[in-house]
Amino acid sequence: MKMKLREVYSALKIQADSIADVEITGVCFDSRKAQKGDLFFPLQGQRDGHEFINSAIENGVSATIWQSDHDIPNDKIPYVVVKNVSNAFETLAKYYLGKVNPRVIAVTGSNGKTTTKDMIAKILSTNNNVAKTPQNFNNEIGVPFTILNMPTNTEVLVVEMGMDRPGQIDHLSSIANPDISVITMIGEAHIEFFGTRDKIADAKMEIVVHLQEDGRFVFNGDEPLLLERAKKVNQEKLTFGNQDSNTLYATQISPGKTSTKFKTNLWPELDFEIPMMGEYNVNNALAALLVGKVSHIQPEAMQKALSNLFVTQNRTEWMKAKNGADILSDVYNSNPTAAIEVLNSLKEIKTAGRKLIVLGDMLELGDASKRLHESLFEHISPDDFEKVYLIGDYMKFLKDKLSDKYDSSNLFWYEKDQLADLTTDLKKELKPDDTVLLKGSHGIHLENVLHDLI
């Protein structure tokens, strides 16, 4: 970003008698990360952002926004008085987006959106100056922040969009006005707030409301809920997935512990490889390949880009236990779709010894919690996983279902405050050539088990 403070006033349609000759080279809302050249936005969070303006000044910001219902600030640095800080944040983002005028790729989905965003950015960067959402800054703060911090030479902007309520993605996409909208999949994440997958699909489809008239809609064609809703979309539609009815699908998948190879129908002569496990990540790659195709990236360049991928947030991570056992760790997030995906992927991986699984409660599933925890039953069997450890109130439902498959010497359940007992039992059982999966929502705190194992 590069903008004179006078231009900020103009973009926000604010009149002033005199404006300091200050150059703005970035924006920030976290005073701890403020630096010289930044314009500070005191956004309202758990605390009023105005409380941190002095801290931002100490860290070197060049100017600050100030909301008019607060006392007039001191004059240590230039300030811009606005009626509403959040609205000013979004207004300036829209202005700057129009000024730089990159092609915008918007990505959402119940799972896989961060990985897909990174894949798209990697592929498109082979032929463009690309900026992307940092980490998973995908809400009302993250999207404007992403836009305002893109370099002035940005040709393509890849924006991740998350949601926890209806209307949120509509609002975010109204800021970004995407040229390509991508939906990775529809799962059960946040079903507590939406009630049904139909309503989740409705909310995800908001990403096409502000799609450019000549834009493209890329989505998972294996999902009937999306196929039905896509009929109302006038822009060009391209689909990816497992079924051969899709625009792009994998014809052959070779799973591995740390990478996955696959072939596709559109480029049958090419062997693609991504440095991560799981067929679900192949679907993410297919979405990125479609975006690359319509962006005129050569298939060989896309192949090379995916093989050299580094993802922002690969929650599923291989680690080593102190005794040498392999640990597949995913202890900060879980929902039924993600749990099933990682269980199925682990089944396909060859290991030296036994496979054990540790599953913690999946949170924010609301009234569907019992049914959705029980739904994992079909994906767990003694043929694939010798021992099963479950922890949490809702995992008791899965334990009851699995009692028909497992005897008591191989199936264990713990109250959520019995992490220490789970850890003790697991450390006694785990052998050096075993492989163990740890997966649960962060509220169960399986990271403590992980810490003790390693």
Q: Per-residue DSSP letters for 102-141?
A: -EEEEEE-SSSHHHHHHHHHHHHTTTS-EEE--TT--STT
pLDDT of residue 41: 98
Contact 249, 264 (CB under 8 A): yes
Predicted confidence band of residue 192 (pLDDT cuts 50, 70, 90): confident
pLDDT of residue 190: 76
The structure tokens 């099963």 sit at: 388
The mean pLDDT of the chain is 95
Q: What does the pLDDT look like over 51-76, one tens digit per residue?
A: 999 999 999 999 999 999 998 776 78
Contact 37, 59 (CB under 8 A): no
Residue 171 has pLDDT above 70, yes or no: yes
Residue 297 has pLDDT above 60, yes or no: yes
pLDDT of residue 313: 57
Report how far residue 175's alpha carbon sits from residue 161's, in angstroms, rounded to the nearest whole number: 11
What average pLDDT does range 397-420 have in this prediction?
A: 97
Burial of 72 (0-12, 13-18, 19+ CB in 10 A): exposed
Looking at per-residue pLDDT, the higher value among 312 and 76 belongs to 76
Report how far residue 280's alpha carbon sits from residue 330's, in angstroms, rounded to the nearest whole number: 15
pLDDT of residue 8: 97
Report how far residue 30's alpha carbon sits from residue 57's, in angstroms, rounded to the nearest whole number: 12
Q: Quick one: residue 195, left, alpha or beta (phi over 0 = left, psi -120 to 50 = alpha)?
A: left
- Establish whether 256 is an annotated binding residue: no
- Establish whether 173 is an annotated binding residue: no
Q: Which of 256, 434, 413, 433 is nearest to 355 (CA)?
A: 434
Predicted confidence band of residue 337 (pLDDT cuts 50, 70, 90): very high
What average pLDDT does range 130-140 have in this prediction?
A: 94
Q: Which of 342, 334, 337, 325 is nearest to 433 (CA)?
A: 325
Q: Quick one: residue 225, left, alpha or beta (phi over 0 = left, psi -120 to 50 = alpha)?
A: alpha
| Domain ranges across the chain | 3-83, 102-307, 317-453
Report how far residue 328's alpha carbon sits from residue 434's, in angstroms, rounded to the nearest whole number: 11
- Establish whether 91 is an annotated binding residue: no
Report how far residue 444's alpha carbon sits from residue 141's, in angstroms, rounded to the nearest whole number: 28
What average pLDDT does range 170-187 have in this prediction?
A: 97
Give percent of the chain above pLDDT 90: 92
The third-level CATH classification (topology) of the domain covering 317-453 is Protein-Tyrosine Phosphatase; Chain A (3.90.190)
Q: What does the pLDDT look like over 95-131, one tens digit per residue?
A: 999 999 999 999 999 999 999 999 999 999 999 999 9
pLDDT of residue 76: 84
Q: What does the pLDDT look like over 11-61, one tens digit per residue?
A: 999 998 889 999 999 999 999 999 999 999 999 989 999 999 999 999 999
pLDDT of residue 191: 82
The structure tokens 């998350």 sit at: 162
Is the CATH number 3.40.1190.10 carried by domain 102-307?
yes
Residue 298 has pLDDT above 60, yes or no: yes
- Establish whether 220 is an annotated binding residue: no
pLDDT of residue 75: 76
Report how far residue 425's alpha carbon sits from residue 444's, in angstroms, rounded to the nearest whole number: 17
Contact 40, 85 (CB under 8 A): no
Residue 311 has pLDDT above 90, yes or no: no
What average pLDDT does range 337-342 have in this prediction?
A: 94
- Establish whether 344 is an annotated binding residue: no
pLDDT of residue 410: 98
- Establish whether 146 is an annotated binding residue: no
pLDDT of residue 385: 98
Report residue 297 CA to chain centroid gap.
24
State the CATH class of domain 3-83. Answer: alpha beta
Least confident of 93-107, 259-273, 314-328: 314-328
Whole-prediction pTM: 0.92
Residue 314 has pLDDT above 70, yes or no: no
Query: How does 250-284 read in b/e, with b if 16+ C-beta sit within 10 Å?
Result: beeeebbbeebbbebeebeeeebbbbbbbbbbbbb
Contact 188, 368 (CB under 8 A): yes
- Establish whether 110 is an annotated binding residue: yes
Q: What does the pLDDT look like over 365-384, one tens digit per residue?
A: 999 999 999 999 999 999 99
Q: Are strands 411-414 and 387-391 parallel, antiparallel or unpaired?
A: parallel
pLDDT of residue 312: 63
Give percent of the chain above pLDDT 70: 99
